[in-house]
Amino acid sequence: MSERNKHIVILGNGISGVTCARYIRKHNGDLSITVVSGESVYFYSRTALMYVYMGHMKWEHTKPYEDWFWEKNRINLCKAWVSRVAFEDKELVFEDGSRLRYDILVLATGSKPAAYGWQGQDLPGVQGLYSLQDLALLEKNTRSIKHAVIVGGGLIGVELAEMLRSRKISVTMLVREGHFWGNVLPKEEGVLIGDHIGQHGVDLRLHVELEQVIPGEDGRVSAVKTSAGETIACDFVGLTVGVVPNVDFLRTDSDETTVLEIGRGVLVNAYFETNIPDVYAVGDCAEFREAPSPERKKIEQVWYTGRMHGETLGANLGKSQRRSYQPGHWFNSAKFFDLEYQVYGSVPNVPEEGLETFFWQHEQRPVAMRLVYQAGTRVLVGIHAIGWRLDHVFFDDTISKGWTAEQVLESLEEASFNSEFYRHSCEAVRQAFTKQTGISVTRNKKSWVQWIFGEKA
């Protein structure tokens, strides 16, 4: 078959799938591309769903591209739910029985909310939050309610809490760890963010897990029972204990000869290739057989990694090349109500052998910074910032170049990316570092660009 006649089908129109389609078309004008999704016709910003609920945006504002973009770029859109993939026949089988043939298939099916078999988890008024359909259900489930319980203390849980509080709904959040987001954050950061969440009217319960969702006389949720033995009356329960790869429908019957290898997600190599020729997987649904680097995980369900997956595979398919995925240093950012958080590199939630850490927190404002560096050499391996915007390029370069903690602190003004009238605490951080370590650190007037690229920069 000629290149011009090849049909690439991308299953899923989230950031990974759509970026893949864009990069294929960017590098190849001949291939036929179809993006399939049962959730929505057009790609939208999943992180913007909360602002639709809160009344800050309308649905049409969540679409990064105009509707005409897809036809102009000859990317066909198909709104349909897939019941299974017939890998031997190279066909998608839709719920209505119709089929779509492909030559190359890209699985970009994303995630779905996790649930752990709690009694009552399927009651009306109990749900997760991930998709457009979840948002519609949330509108229905939270109409005229008074109290909600959120199970889980991750990023989606905080988003849901902020959404509900915007409508004056009281919220109790159950977190099994001893501090907020304890499987990710060190204690000091978790306590700081937990206090900030509490200041926004959320009743944060630590060391508490869900045991049971209790129905009322009408069959809807009326209360939850916790591991502390308490019964909390509520009209709604949000299950936000994380997400899992959306791959169950891809599992094939044992009597089929072509079987997709699936662990927690679809197993792929560094080129996003599965065990089946011409079938690839990217984004939240993909699980690397080997982590891309020691600081990365086999499954990374983050917006920007999904975009990078799509860019890499899309360029490979468009150029007919085979370049491996090179994600670089770990990065993530989030907002906890109005408090911003960033991480660059590796910042363990508990101390690790061979690493030392420096933590600074403002005495009055919710602002903090943590540096993690190698013992002895003090070479930076990671940094946390709360309430303090940092420059992505700065830390990507400095970690790559092997800067020490004191070199970073000397150029902290250059690393900051705050607004014009932000009250900087750079000197206070340097003084605290000197006091804690005995290493004198003063501001370096040379810009970090000159540090990295030389005096002529």
Structure tokens at 296: 């990365």
Query: How, if at all, do strands 202-206 and 170-175 pair?
Result: parallel
Instruction: Report the pLDDT value the prediction gives residue 456, as an integer from 0 to 100.
Output: 44
* Element housing 11 (H / E): strand 7-11
pLDDT tens, per residue, the chain with 457 residues: 456 679 999 999 999 999 999 999 999 999 999 999 999 999 999 999 999 999 999 999 999 999 999 999 999 999 999 999 999 999 999 999 999 999 999 999 999 999 999 999 999 999 999 999 999 999 999 999 999 999 998 899 999 999 999 999 999 999 999 999 999 999 999 999 999 999 999 999 999 999 999 999 999 999 999 999 999 999 999 999 999 999 999 998 766 778 999 999 999 999 999 999 999 999 999 999 999 988 899 999 999 999 999 999 999 999 999 999 999 999 999 999 999 999 999 999 999 999 999 999 999 999 999 999 999 999 999 999 999 999 999 999 999 999 999 999 999 998 988 766 566 799 999 999 999 999 999 998 765 555 555 544 4
Question: 21, 2, 26: which is closest to 11 by C-alpha?
Answer: 21
Instruction: Report the pLDDT value the prediction gives residue 294, as an integer from 0 to 100.
Output: 85
pTM, 2 dp: 0.93
What phi, psi does 196 have (nearest 5°)?
-65, -40
How would you class 114 by CB atoms within 10 Å of its CB: exposed for 0-12, middle for 13-18, buried for 19 or more?
middle
Instruction: Report the pLDDT value the prediction gives residue 126, as an integer from 0 to 100.
Output: 98
- Domains observed in the chain: 3-112+245-319 (3.50.50.60), 126-241 (3.50.50.60), 338-453 (3.30.390)
How would you class 332 by CB atoms within 10 Å of its CB: exposed for 0-12, middle for 13-18, buried for 19 or more?
middle
d(CA 338, CA 196) in angstroms, rounded, equals 9
Whether 79 and 165 have beta carbons less than 8 Å apart is answered as: no
DSSP annotation of 404 reads B
Query: How, if at all, do strands 111-113 and 243-245 pair?
Result: antiparallel
Structure tokens at 152: 């889980």
d(CA 213, CA 123) in angstroms, rounded, equals 8
The residues near 20 (Cβ < 8 Å, ≥ 6 apart) are: 10, 106, 108, 282, 309, 310, 311, 313, 314, 317
Instruction: Report the pLDDT value the prediction gives residue 457, as an integer from 0 to 100.
Output: 42
Torsion of CA 280, 283, 285, 291, to 10 degrees: 90
The one-letter amino acid at 87: F
CB atoms < 10 A from the CB of 19, how many? 24
